């Protein structure tokens, strides 16, 4: 049906740069795709590295567009291949990355062709060129697989190209390897030097990882930075920006869960409430001048419990606390009596709370009056009026409760672990507001405790 000249013209056009079967057919108006495939398969150039590279580029481009979410019809129209070919490329790319688009060994073999050349030197030169091209392609695939197997071979960085050159220079020589890869000699040596450079933050990375784990994976870069500088054995002075970058590169990011619906102890107005004497000023000039209290709920594995602490606004120290299976008056009253037992002579703090029912009962009011405590209350349903206490509960749950596996942990074991955390909170958990000291360390630095 077609003359020899027509067949040769179609095959030559196919093997020209950037052509696909669809574009050949569109330009010539003939033949069918299957017919063109037969003609190409009989051509001596079929299966050589050049032809394979053309098909690899076409298949990779189509597969990448499909993987990026483009519709098959649009890809088929632009590439000019059959839908079955695009689907086959996309499936191979999904399974093996760009390696799935490489020709099989049978297809990669170069058929013996007698082009009339009988010069042994020229034949050896051609053979070495083909071996070099094959070696470069092989090492390129290895480099891509070591990083991301879906990367474009033409998108290799200079350092990655330098790795390819290192892999083949021993067999083919540096000059030929650089020429095949398309890399300047100076760029090659610069890339090798950069790859061999030692990570100057290697020690810092290890210490940051250790501190992050020791802190329960809840410390941010500011706390880690302060811990590094305050290490008595081996202080490490670096900027906050470096610590932040190292933590980002290492994936050391505290993960907090979204807060569940908060339990409320508000039981409605049962009498006249005390005035709000604090007015959102949660600072105190000395210990035992202003106390805060509230109740929070823990929903555990098959049970619930409630925590009622007293926090000193001077430095955030936990003065006393009670944990109970029931949010009753005994819990709140016992906590208050424990806090009062720590007071010195003449100390009469203001104790501020929300409008929970625990603080409106006669027992609580009687204890405050008997020991000279002044009671202050937030406005109804106004959490900012007790914001410092809410902030303490938020930090407690982020650092101690959330992102932990509490399955099978009973009440007594939970109580032990909570006691250990609250002891750590008072004695070793550093705070920026205290000059990166814990409440007890801060008081010792001021001479308030021995």
d(CA 432, CA 240): 13
Whether 433 and 331 map to the same domain: the answer is yes
Whether 39 and 182 map to the same domain: the answer is no
In this predicted structure, what is the pLDDT of residue 304? 92
Dihedral (Cα; 47, 51, 53, 56), 10-degree rounding? -80
Residue 262 belongs to some domain of the structure: no
- Count Cα atoms within 13 angstroms, Cβ side, for 321: 22
Instruction: Indicate the helix (H) or strand (E) that contains 78.
Output: helix 72-79
* Residue 258: alpha-carbon gap to chain centroid: 18
Cβ atoms within 10 Å of 355's Cβ, excluding its own: 23
Question: Number of structural domains, the chain?
Answer: 4
Q: What does pLDDT average to over the chain?
A: 78
User: Tens digit of pLDDT for each residue in 280-294?
Assistant: 889 999 999 999 999
Residue 261 belongs to some domain of the structure: no
Confidence of residue 346 (pLDDT cuts 50, 70, 90): confident
Dihedral (Cα; 121, 122, 124, 130), 10-degree rounding? 160
Residue 291, judged by CB atoms within 10 A of its CB (0-12, 13-18, 19+), counts as buried
Pairing of strands 290-293, 304-312: antiparallel
Q: Is the pLDDT of residue 115 over 70?
A: no
Query: Which candidate, 112, 111, 91, places its Cα nearest to that of 101?
Result: 91
The per-type count for the chain, helices as H runs and strands as E runs, is: 19, 6
In this predicted structure, what is the pLDDT of residue 441? 93
d(CA 49, CA 71): 30
d(CA 258, CA 261): 9
Residue 450 belongs to some domain of the structure: no
d(CA 322, CA 331): 6
In this predicted structure, what is the pLDDT of residue 314? 93
Whether 182 and 72 map to the same domain: the answer is no
Q: Is the pLDDT of residue 190 over 70?
A: yes
If you average pLDDT over residues 54-65, what whole number do you get? 61
In this predicted structure, what is the pLDDT of residue 111? 42
Identify whether 31 is preceded by a cis peptide bond (ω within 30 of 0). Answer: yes
d(CA 74, CA 66): 9
Residue 113 belongs to some domain of the structure: no
d(CA 247, CA 421): 24
Residue 87 belongs to some domain of the structure: yes
Give residue 100's domain range: 4-108
Whether 73 and 167 map to the same domain: the answer is no
* Residue 397: alpha-carbon gap to chain centroid: 22
More confident residue, 319 or 162: 319
CB 151 within 8 A of CB 160: no
If you average pLDDT over residues 351-377, what whole number do you get? 88
In this predicted structure, what is the pLDDT of residue 1? 62
Whether 231 and 300 map to the same domain: the answer is no
From residue 117, give the alpha-carbon distance in Å to each of 47, 124, 126: 20, 11, 11
Whether 102 and 131 map to the same domain: the answer is no
**First and final C-alpha spacing in the chain:** 106
Among 26-30, 351-355, 420-424, the range scoring the smallest mean pLDDT is: 26-30
Whether 91 and 233 map to the same domain: the answer is no
Instruction: Indicate the helix (H) or strand (E) that contains 312.
Output: strand 304-312
d(CA 236, CA 204): 8
Whether 184 and 76 map to the same domain: the answer is no
Tally the residues of the chain.
450
Whether 206 and 240 map to the same domain: the answer is yes
Confidence of residue 125 (pLDDT cuts 50, 70, 90): confident
What pTM did the predictor assign? 0.49
Q: Which residues have CB under 8 Å from 336's CB, separation 6+?
A: 293, 310, 320, 351, 364, 367, 368
Whether 392 and 314 map to the same domain: the answer is yes
Q: Is the pLDDT of residue 113 over 50?
A: no
Q: Is the pLDDT of residue 144 over 60?
A: no
Residue 278 belongs to some domain of the structure: no
Whether 435 and 295 map to the same domain: the answer is yes
Residue 90 belongs to some domain of the structure: yes
Whether 102 and 29 map to the same domain: the answer is yes
User: Tens digit of pLDDT for each residue in 383-398?
Assistant: 888 889 999 998 999 8
Q: State both tokens at 172.
A: 């083919």
Residue 229 belongs to some domain of the structure: yes
The region that residue 281 occupies, defined by phi over 0 for left and psi between -120 and 50 for alpha, beta otherwise, is: beta
- Give 259-265's long-range contacts (Cβ < 8 A, gap of 24+): 259/394, 259/397, 260/299, 262/296, 262/297, 263/296, 263/297, 263/306, 264/356, 265/295, 265/327, 265/354, 265/356, 265/357, 265/358
d(CA 431, CA 236): 19
């Amino acid at each position: 049906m077609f003359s020899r000249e027509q067949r040769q013209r179609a095959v030559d056009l196919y093997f020209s740069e950037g052509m696909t079967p669809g574009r050949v057919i569109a330009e010539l108006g003939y033949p069918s795709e299957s017919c063109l495939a037969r003609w190409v398969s009989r051509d001596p150039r079929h299966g050589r590295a050049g032809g394979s590279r053309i098909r690899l580029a076409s298949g990779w481009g189509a597969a990448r567009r499909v993987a990026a979410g483009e519709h098959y019809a649009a890809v088929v129209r632009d590439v000019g291949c059959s839908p079955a070919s695009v689907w086959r490329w996309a499936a191979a790319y999904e399974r093996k990355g760009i390696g799935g688009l490489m020709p099989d060994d049978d297809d990669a073999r170069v058929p013996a062709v007698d082009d009339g050349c009988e010069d042994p030197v020229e034949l050896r030169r051609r053979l070495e060129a083909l071996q070099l091209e094959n070696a470069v392609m092989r090492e390129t695939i290895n480099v891509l697989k070591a990083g991301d197997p879906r990367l474009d071979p033409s998108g290799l960085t200079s350092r990655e190209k330098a790795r390819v050159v290192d892999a083949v220079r021993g067999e083919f020589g540096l000059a030929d390897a650089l020429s095949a890869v398309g890399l300047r000699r100076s760029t090659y040596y610069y890339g090798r030097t950069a790859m061999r450079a030692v990570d100057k933050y290697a020690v810092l990375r290890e210490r940051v990882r250790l501190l992050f784990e020791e802190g329960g994976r809840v410390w941010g870069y500011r706390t880690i930075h302060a811990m590094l500088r305050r290490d008595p054995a081996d202080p490490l002075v670096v900027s906050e920006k470096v610590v932040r970058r190292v933590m980002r590169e290492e994936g050391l990011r505290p993960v907090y869960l979204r807060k569940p619906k908060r339990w409320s102890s508000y039981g409605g107005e049962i009498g006249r409430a005390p005035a709000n004497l604090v007015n959102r000023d949660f600072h105190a000039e000395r210990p035992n001048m202003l106390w805060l209290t509230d109740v929070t709920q823990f929903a555990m594995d098959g049970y619930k419990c409630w925590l009622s602490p007293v926090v000193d606004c001077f430095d955030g120290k936990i003065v006393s606390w009670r944990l109970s299976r029931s949010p009753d008056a005994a819990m709140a009253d016992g906590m208050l009596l424990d806090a009062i037992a720590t007071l010195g002579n003449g100390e009469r703090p203001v104790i501020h709370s929300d409008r929970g029912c625990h603080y409106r009962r006669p027992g609580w009011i009687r204890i405050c009056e008997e020991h000279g405590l002044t009671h202050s209350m937030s406005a109804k349903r106004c959490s900012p009026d007790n914001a410092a206490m809410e902030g303490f509960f938020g930090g407690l749950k982020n650092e101690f409760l959330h992102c932990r596996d509490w399955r099978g942990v009973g009440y007594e074991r939970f109580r032990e672990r909570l006691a250990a955390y609250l002891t750590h909170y008072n004695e070793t958990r550093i705070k920026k507001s205290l000059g990166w000291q814990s409440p007890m360390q801060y008081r010792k630095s001021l001479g308030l405790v021995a």
